[in-house]
Amino acid sequence: MARLVISTVGTSVLTNQIDPATDDNYYERLQQTANYTDNEIQHDPDIKQIISELKERAEKELYSDNTDKIRKASAELNGIYSLYNRQIEQGQPDTHLLVTTDTAQGRVAAEVVESFLKSKGLTNISTHAQSGLSTASSEIFVEGMAKLFPSMQETIKTWQKSKYTICFNLVGGFKALQGYFNTIGMFYADEIIYVFEGSNQLIKIPKLPVKVDVSKIKPYEVQLAMMDVGQISTSWEEAKEVPQEWILVDGQEMTLSAWGQLLWEQCKKELLSQKLLKFPKIDYKSSFIDDFQTIENNREQQVKLQETLAKTSQLLQKSGGDTSILKQDPGLQYDKYTNKKPYTSANGDKIDIAHFRVSRGIRVSCTSSNGILLLHRYGREPDVNNNPY
């Protein structure tokens, strides 16, 4: 079976070329500029020259056709050679993704590794350097990982659907990056590989029956569902209840951290396919609750509906209940009916009836009053349009 091999990439292919006897300050200079971006490197000719020189040395070593030298030159390649039992050409059916930091050194190192693998016939290979991801500080790294996780998740799901085995090669890479991917791999990888220190012996960690305790997540299901689709205000009292490790705070707003995303992804289908959640700024008519009950055996539709309600609530909370923000969202396609009589509320008010999109051909009808969106009906577009009240 073909594999998707995700390799974390550090700078070993560069640092392994340093000669302590002649390159007096190379280690120091690389450490000082480890988190420089491509743009910042341009303003430091000295380190730019050092990186260029080490890259040339690395390429000379890699293209020597000496397998032992190649494996010593790059931790990432050592892992890949071990995976294929030294016969790297055997990996041609596989797809490789190199994950590195958004730094000049990380990008150069990944470029060297990618070029070498392509020279060996592994053409299905690409590099992902997440914008803003570096180890300049714990805050910057955590924020970068929160941005990286969704793309990794979607990539893995895509290849899983094609029946690929998912392999995490964590022999190389920065320790912080390895730590995160080791944990993510426990949930998403079919196997995680390392190379035993002091040898080229491969260590495989198979997929383990790891399961998140849903009962620990359930108390925060509304907040997590909303943060999964956008930012929420830190001033919201319920938001303050969410464990700090699961959130990422940006000024007066918060969203899910990489750990929060990981936990929610494992639980959301179960939690969103139970009862209707009580989202802020949203209320339900009995007719809407009845409509929801008609799909109680269709988990996919239940999850999609509640994800849409979470998005609607998140936007309304952001706007203070002003529905004009819903109209601006291309996914919701919120609009008022032009050919329907107004809805008469319990206190006799006449309110325009509106609707928004859940998915193709599926709609929700609603009215808005005093900052609260009252949901009337849910179902197929023709059915809701014919009887939106």
Question: Residue ranges of the domains in the chain?
Answer: 3-206, 213-271, 277-389
- Quote the pTM value: 0.86
C-beta separation of 96 from 124 below 8 A: yes
Of the candidate ranges 51-60, 194-203, 284-293, the one whose mean pLDDT is the lowest: 194-203
Query: For position 276, what pLDDT does the model report?
Result: 96
β pairing state of 335-336 and 125-129: unpaired
User: Which percentage of the chain shows pLDDT scores above 90?
Assistant: 83
User: Which percentage of the chain shows pLDDT scores above 70?
Assistant: 99
The string of pLDDT tens digits covering residues 308-336 is: 999 999 999 999 999 999 999 999 999 99
Distance CA 128, CA 96 (A): 11
**Superfamily of 277-389 according to CATH:** RelE-like (3.30.2310.20)
The string of pLDDT tens digits covering residues 58-68 is: 999 998 888 88
Query: For position 250, what pLDDT does the model report?
Result: 86
One-letter amino acid at 192 equals: I
Which class is domain 3-206? alpha beta
Query: For position 232, what pLDDT does the model report?
Result: 94
Of the candidate ranges 8-12, 123-127, 208-212, 381-385, the one whose mean pLDDT is the lowest: 208-212
Q: Which residues contact 70 (CB under 8 A, 6 or more apart)?
A: 61, 62, 64, 77, 81, 116
Comparing CA positions, the residue from 34, 35, 15, 36 lying closest to residue 26 is: 15
Query: For position 348, what pLDDT does the model report?
Result: 81
C-beta separation of 212 from 221 below 8 A: no
The string of pLDDT tens digits covering residues 260-273 is: 999 999 999 999 99
Confidence of residue 24 (pLDDT cuts 50, 70, 90): confident
What is the rounded average pLDDT of the residues 99-126? 94
Residue 23 has pLDDT above 80, yes or no: yes
Q: Which residues contact 377 (CB under 8 A, 6 or more apart)?
A: 287, 288, 291, 364, 365, 383, 384, 387, 388, 389
Q: Interhelix angle for 104-119 vs 75-83, to 10°?
A: 30
Query: For position 65, what pLDDT does the model report?
Result: 82
Fold: same for 3-206 and 277-389:
no
What is the rounded average pLDDT of the residues 30-55? 93
Confidence of residue 198 (pLDDT cuts 50, 70, 90): low
Query: For position 92, what pLDDT does the model report?
Result: 79
Of the candidate ranges 86-95, 115-124, 149-158, the one whose mean pLDDT is the lowest: 86-95
